[in-house]
Amino acid sequence: MRSKFYGIQFPVFTTKKTHEGEIYKNNKLFILPNKGAEDKLVLVDDLSIKLPYPRRLELMRIGSYSVIEYDFTCTNLSALLLSRSRWGYDSANKIHYFDRGYKEFRLSYRKVIKIHKNAFWLEGISYPFELPEFLFDFQDLKNLWVGVVYVDFCWHIYDFSPFYKRKDRIKL
* Alpha-carbon span 165 to 140, nearest angstrom: 18
82-116: per-residue pLDDT in tens? 999 999 999 999 999 999 888 999 999 999 999 88
* Alpha-carbon span 110 to 113, nearest angstrom: 9
Give the pLDDT mean for 111-122: 90
pLDDT at 35 over 70: no
* Alpha-carbon span 160 to 36, nearest angstrom: 39
CB 18 within 8 A of CB 31: no
pLDDT at 10 over 90: yes
Mean pLDDT, the chain, whole residue set: 90
From the number of C-beta atoms within 10 Å of its C-beta (0-12, 13-18, 19+), residue 10 rates as middle
pLDDT at 143 over 70: yes
Q: Taking the model in full, what pTM does it have?
A: 0.87
pLDDT at 155 over 90: yes
